[in-house]
Structure 1
């Protein structure tokens, strides 16, 4: 088995200055403390959080479906509510990160620059799929099932949230550089 610390993916993430900022890990830390600390029912009891959850449930029906299948409905509801909220927080962080923005703008060269919106749209679609489409329940589950594990739900919702955030940031950069993006006749 390969050592994870020698993995190229792990090394790239470890060297990336964006992931070294504490503000990037704050939402995941916040979610972990609330969920694994056992205070999720207390948080859902706060009036404004309950109202926010009610608004989210009315507009995002998949939160109710996720909670209905789960062994711990209130916790699942909170996990996916936080995933939706933090996706916009992360989109703002990624869009404002200057090295990523400059790398994107430098990549707007050649005839393929017109295709630069496609990865953002694909990431948004996959992120929406992760957060909206519920997985089928496993009737004969021998290990920790998706609806019986808080850790798996936090990991899954964070992955969907991250795809959504990067997609939003790419679309934002695409729209912010629209003139450069679709300039005709200019040499890049």
Structure 2
């Protein structure tokens, strides 16, 4: 996927945030960050590796790395008595795995690495156009990405309106009431 990781992270985080209102901001923050976190390797890809290795071959695009990291963080939270923050680890892990699932649509992801080098993807995007990104923008899978943006936009707008209505109601309740005069 090319542009839909962030809105997909929003959609994934939303039900967790609704179930845990006291942690909603942290849930959204972790969910959004982790939905794009594997692509932070693009800095290394362009600036250091000089595009020699496909960026989906880096360790941040392997599920085993994220599973081990999440397990270590969860154990640390349990050991320090902060079980209430385990939801953040769960949201982060699911967001990263969603990123990898979405990448598997049109890119090779090594789901079993380091145990096997099997590369999984749903469709192969042919290199037909220049510059290279036009191959993704003009492929049918880009319609899926636009659909994810539209759905996320609808939910975000609905959430914004709900928060705004609650804010207006709270402001009305905080206004001083005019004294009533007897009739």
TM-score higher than 0.5: no
Higher helix proportion (structure 1 or 2) = 1
Larger radius of gyration: 2
